[in-house]
Each structure stands twice: as structure tokens, then as C-alpha cells.
Structure 1
Amino acid sequence: MGKNSSEKGQVLRDDIGWEALAKYVKEKSPSKIFIITDENTNKLCLSIFLEKKKFEFSSETITIPVGEIYKNISTCFNVWETLSEKGADQKSLIINLGGGVVTDLGGFVASTFKRGIPFINIPTSLLAMVDASVGGKNGVDLGHIKNQIGVINLPELVVLDTAFLTTLPHEHVTSGLAEMLKHGLIHSQTYWERIKNVDFSDKVEFEKLIWDSVEIKKEIVAKDPFENNLRKTLNYGHTLGHAIESYFLENDDKPTLLHGEAVAIGMILATHISAEIVGFPQRTLNDVTETILNHFPKQTFSKNDIDTVIKLLVFDKKNRNGKVLFVLLEDIGHYKTDCEVDNSFIYKAFEYYKNF
């Protein structure tokens, strides 16, 4: 990965990443540098960034509020206005320093301001490292519906440094773990077995797992950048996961779920549906469910909750002609895309989740 130093979207780690960033700034000599953070990353990660960066160049920081509820057009509007007021132009550079909300929104802001200015992602959460920062998907939510507005546009570079993970509360680490478990399910039995038995205290092995997870996603995106077939597998568990996340976000009686917490539920449901429709092995289904529930607390769903979640599925971006399409697995590493799923299978999957 990243043999060619000018390869757009390359993901480089630790010192190599920081050196590539310094080289980029030196060669491109941007007119101005803007760092987009949220309130948390401004407080916890900006000092790490300033200490590790290997270039001398003054920058301006633009800080957005924390949380998925601010991943919307009005936040973009504020950032666009700030960029405009501070004299950003097409030769400026945006550095997105944060988790998935910052990298998604910052990439979208950069891709659209003055018809597109260069941006670099420095993911600070596990979720952003293994998911949001790779593959060039940028965008915002429309109301409580996830990622309805956006573009695919690669960053100039992604700098991945696990030093930022020390700033995270534990539930944010497990939120990122959900995407790594997903990579195991869609990729191979070998990676699944390794990630299933993850030991967060073994720093060396955990860093290897993170990097392998990035490689899995990178390889998939390289083969299918515009999601015609293989890249759809990265949505495993996300069709129902996003709907659950949206529903919990808009419902005052429910806790707000982190992205990974919602996707974890979505993966259990998708794996049960896979067992019912395309023959995913029952024993492996139970293993998947047990593994996920070891890391993620179970949520409760009433009949009304499930009805509403199913109604939200119509907003899924993979749908065609009004049909909801799922990614299902015949086994670990063996996928089928564009599967139509009758609602009865979804109700049965929720029943399985509740009673497991």
C-alpha cells in the first residue's frame, strides 16, 4: 500500500504517514491550512497532532459540535462560511482531525467548497481508522436518515496513528470493533478467528488487527470503487444497522447508539436472515451472535419499534426501484449481494436476537 507516494487516498501509518504529510505540505505549499475538529478532538487530539506533525506551517482550526446529530448541512454551511471568511481558496488544504463525523463531514465540505479543495484525513477513533477514513465516502445525514447527501472523493492521504486511540472511552473502541468484526465476516475465517478473540491489552497484536482491517477495506475499495458489486459487502449489517441507528437517534425514549453499536445488532440480524435464506451455518450463526453480544449490550425492541425500523429501510442507499436489498452471507467470506428479504424474515431475526 502506498508504494507510489503520489497515490491518492493512500493510508500510511505512524512516522511514514507523518513524513508523507510533511512532504505533501512542502511540495504543494498550500495557500492556507484549515484543521477541522470537533469539540472533543480539539481538546484531546489537537495537541497530539501539533506535537507529531513534521512541518512548520501555521494553520487555523475550525471546530464543530460533537455528535452524529450535527452531521448535517447546517454544520457544513457554518464551516463553508468560516472558510470563506478566512480566505480559503482552491489552493488551501483541509485536514480532518477526528472520528467518522469529522472525516465524513470534513471530506464533504472540502469536496464541495469552490468545487473541491484537497483534504487529508487523520482519523482519531477506531471506527474512523478502519472504516470512515478509507474509500473516499464523504457526506452528511438528511434529518435522522444516515448519509443521504454525499460524494465519493478520495482524500490526498490518510495518516493512521494509533496514539490517538488512548483518548477514547472504551465504548468508542468497541464501536470501531464492530466494523472489524464485519471485515472478518465478509473476508475470511482466518481474520474472523483473530478478531473474535481480540485482546485490547495486547497492543502489538491489536495494532496488527487494525492495520489488517484497513488492508481488507482498502483491497475491496480498490477492486470496486463505485460499489457495483464487491464493495456492497462493506454494508453487511448496515441496512438494518443504519435504520436502528436512525430510529434510536430520533426517539427520545431510546438511548443514542454509537454507529458500531447499531451495526453490531444489524450484523446479528443479517446473519440470522442469511441462515434462513442462503444457508449460513447455524453453528457459526450462534458463534457470531455470542461474539457480538460479548462486546455489545443487548437492546430491547417492541413490535412498534421493529415496525418503525422496517419502515426506515426504504431510505437505504442500496435500494433499487423501491425494493430493499440486503447483503447476505452463505458462510464467512462468501457473500451474495442485492438479496430481497421479506419482512417476515426480519421479524424472525429480531425474535432470535431477543431470545438468544
Structure 2
Amino acid sequence: MQSIQAGDYSIYFNEEAYVYLNAFLIEHHYSKLFILVDSNTNENCLPHFLSLLATENEIEIIEIESGEAFKTIETCVQLWESLTELGGDRKSLLINVGGGVITDIGGFVASTFKRGIDFINIPTTLLGMVDASIGGKNGVDLGNLKNQIGVINSPKAVLIDTVYLETLPQNEMRSGLAEMLKHGLIFDKDYWQKFSNLDHLTSDDLDELIYRSIEIKNAIVSQDPTENGIRKALNFGHTLGHAIESYFLENPLKTSLLHGEAIAVGMILESYLSLQKEFITHEEYMEIKTVIQSIFSPIIFEKKDMEPILNLLIHDKKNEFGKVQFALLNGIGQIKINQHAENQWIMEAFDDYKR
């Protein structure tokens, strides 16, 4: 697959990724290589990566616990301390091997250690490949509030190797599909329609879908790297989805949701808001709802869940002047940004979701 140019870095695929990486390491003469993994990728992905890494650099492996619960400033402090104790300097390179949590936190730690060291993202989950590792957003959660602390800073490269997907459970694969569905809904109707029947999907098909998804995200980000305009389109499904994800993360009576599971609900809810504003037809809304619900199991919401979820919307980082901002569909394949919705419509969207 041909590499994709993304601003001041490139995205490389499969075998070409390691050819690029090994040549890059020879060229740049880093003082030390640090590889950041979590407990899952250390066991399942790191051996494959190391077998293809050709370098004489000194390598240090740093492992953190896996999961969104560890995407915190406290974990960053531990990582900054580890880099310091292991002799990291401004000529060090941090390679992030893992899912969205690893690339988000690794990019943030690298961007702030010694006022910034180079980093490379090697996403090992579908979600990481098509979304989290692309676009330069790096950061951590503040308590249960998603991605409140962070920077926009590009890696030196992103390396996509779909072999890592063989290590994923099915729920993690579905989580990544949510972002791919989103890319079709906001940008490419033909791409969206490819997800109406996934029964006969081959590995080659998946590679092509991943490639197109990355193309779509990169096309949007390239127009608006700092999210002052069209990049807000990527927030479709995320305003309510992040609130739901945060609520389920903090509530001890709830089972935490994967990012894509929460975003799938958010896309249905925000499609309903698009319907209420007459931006999409009822037929389009039912098509969206049917396809997403054919992939994702329903999430149970009780009446007592509504108020805390609505309260979490206030903290969404996309808000301006105290108003909740939505990116809503303008037909399948197009988007309207900076939209507002009354709480009553949001409650109706939840009611319709539960039907």
C-alpha cells in the first residue's frame, strides 16, 4: 500500500512500515530508544515488533497497565520519572506500541518531556489505526472527563501493521468499526454503504477499508489541524458518546464501555438530533440506526442515568461560550458543525434509542 502524507509526517503500511523505521533510525542517530507498551501489547505485540526492528540503539521497554482508567496525569508522572531514571534526554525517541490509550498518553508524554522529544506511533488496535494515532491529538483524561488535558503535536511517523489485529478480541474490533462507520457517515456515502453487510469481509477487504478510513480522517485534519472548523466534523457521535463513556467509567454500578461502544450509541442519538433538525430524512435515520445496531449490542439506560449524562455534556471540550456544540449529519456523507440541541430533544433521542 502506498504511504499517506499527513502534514509533516507520513503513514506507512505493513512491510513498508518496518523498512521506513529501520532506515529512519539509522539516519537520525538517537541516543536511546524507549518503547511504550501496556500489559497486553507487551505480551501479544512486542515480540512481533522487536523481531522486525533492526537497530544498534540501546532499547528500554516501559510498560503500563492497560485500559482507559490508566490514561491519567498520574501515569504521565510515572512515565516522566521512568524516562528520567533510564537516562532519557532530548535526543531520545519514544515508540508507542499499543491502542489509543498508549498512543494518546505516549504522544503527550513525549511532547512534554524535556520540552519535547520525537515519537512514533505503532497502533495495534483497529481504533488506534483508523482514529487515535492519526491527526496529532495527544492527551489524558481528567478524572472521568475524556481528553481534557493534552496537546496537538505530530509524530515522526505512524506505522500501520494489520498483523496486530489478529491479537484482538471481537469487541475490540467492533470498537474500531465505530470510527470507520463515522468516517463514512460524515464524508463518504459509498464508503458507509460498504458496512451494510460485513458477513463476507476478507482480510484484504479490511486492509482497504482501513486505508480509506485513514484517508478520510487525514483529508479532514489536513484542512484544519487545530480544530477551528471542519475538523469538528470528526466529533459526530462523540459529544453524547464521550458523556456516556465517562458516566459508565465513573459509575461503580455500570460496566465500563469501550470507546467505540459508546460512540456507536452517540452516533444513533446524534442522528436522531439530525432528524429533529430536518437535516436527514426518516429513512436515512432508520438506515443508520439499523446498520449500527446490527453490529453493536444495545446499551441499557435507566431514567436515573439521564441527568448525570446531561451534566457531563457541560464539560465537553468542544463547547463554546457555555453552549454544547454538536456535529450533526446533513444527509449521509455530509456534516453540519456548531449545532445546538435542546435537552428535551436529547431525552427524546434516548427514548427512541431504547425503543
- The TM-score normalised by the length of structure 1 is 0.97
2:349 equivalent in structure 1: 349
User: What SS is found at the alignment partner of 1:331?
Assistant: coil
Q: Could you tell me how far apart the structure 2 residues matched to 1:134 and 1:271 are? A: 25
Matched with 1:105 is 105
The structure-2 alpha-carbon separation of the partners of 1:9 and 1:306, relative to structure 1 and needing over 3 Å to count, comes to farther
Structure 1: which amino acid aligns with 2:32?
Answer: K
What residue in structure 2 maps to residue 14 of structure 1?
14
Displacement of 1:302 in angstroms is 1.5
Cα distance in 1 between the residues matched to 2:55 and 2:129: 23
Q: Is the 8 A contact 1:327 1:339 kept in 2?
A: yes
Please name the residue that 1:231 is paired with: 231
1:271 correspondence with 2:305? no
Alignment partner, residue 334 of structure 1: 334
The one-letter code sitting in structure 2 at the alignment partner of 1:204 is: D
Please report how far the alpha carbon of residue 253 of structure 1 lies from its aligned counterpart in structure 2 after TM superposition. Answer: 1.2
Aligned partners of 1:316 and 1:324 also within 8 Å:
yes
Aligned match of 2:86: 86
Partner of 1:26 in structure 2? 26
On the 8 A contact 1:198/1:206 being kept in 2, the answer is: no
CA deviation string 1:233-262 (max 9, x = no partner)? 111000000000000000111111000000
Task: Identify which range, 130-139 or 7-16, moves more after superposition.
Answer: 7-16
Change in CA separation of 1:3 and 1:288 when aligned onto 2, cut-off 3 Å: closer
How far has the Cα of 1:7 moved from its partner? 6.3
Aligned partner of 1:321 in structure 2 is 321
- One-letter code aligned to 1:35: I
SS in 1 for 2:277: helix
Match of residue 133 from structure 1: 133
Shift of 1:324: 0.4
Q: Which residue of 1 aligns with 2:157?
A: 157
Give 5+ residue unaligned stretches, structure 1: none
Partner of 1:175: 175
Aligned with 2:12: secondary structure? Answer: strand
Matched residue SS, 1:159? strand
Output the CA distance in 1 between the equivalents of 2:112 and 2:200: 38
C-alpha deviation, 1:166, in angstroms? 0.3
Give the residue type in structure 1 aligned to 2:105: L
Change (3 A) 1:344 1:273: same
CA distance in 1, matches of 2:79, 2:72: 11
Q: Distance in 1 between matches of 2:286 and 2:75?
A: 42
Gaps (5+ residues) in structure 2?
none
TM superposition shift of 1:335: 1.1
Aligned-pair CA distance for 1:198: 2.8
Contact 1:195-1:209 at 8 Å conserved across structures? no
Match of 1:39 in 2: 39
Q: Which residue pairs with 2:296 in the alignment?
A: 296
Tell me the residue number matched to 1:48: 48
**Letter aligned with residue 248 of structure 2:** F
* The 10-residue stretch of structure 1 (242-251 or 273-282) with the greater mean CA deviation from structure 2: 273-282
Change (3 A) 1:3 1:301: closer
Match of 1:246 in 2: 246
Change beyond 3 A, Cα 1:3–1:329: closer
Please give the alpha-carbon distance, in whole angstroms, between the structure 2 residues aligned to 1:9 and 1:303: 47
Q: Find runs of 4+ consecutive structure 1 residues off by over 6 angstroms.
A: none
Distance in structure 2 (CA, Å) of the matches to 1:224 and 1:262:
25
C-alpha contact 2:31 2:57 (8 A) present in aligned 1: no
In 2: Cα distance, 1:310 partner to 1:63 partner = 36
Distance 1:24 1:259, change over 3 A: same
Deviation at 1:334, TM superposition (A): 1.9
Give the partner amino acid of 1:187.
F
Aligned residue identity for 2:91: K
**Residue 201 of structure 1: how far off its partner (Å):** 4.5
Aligned partner of residue 117 in structure 2, secondary structure: coil
CA–CA distance in 2 between the matches of 1:284 and 1:207? 27
Q: CA RMSD in A?
A: 1.4
Structure 1 position 59, deviation (Å):
1.0
Contact 1:240 1:313 in 2 (8 A): yes
User: Contact 2:97 / 2:122 at 8 angstroms: preserved in 1?
Assistant: yes
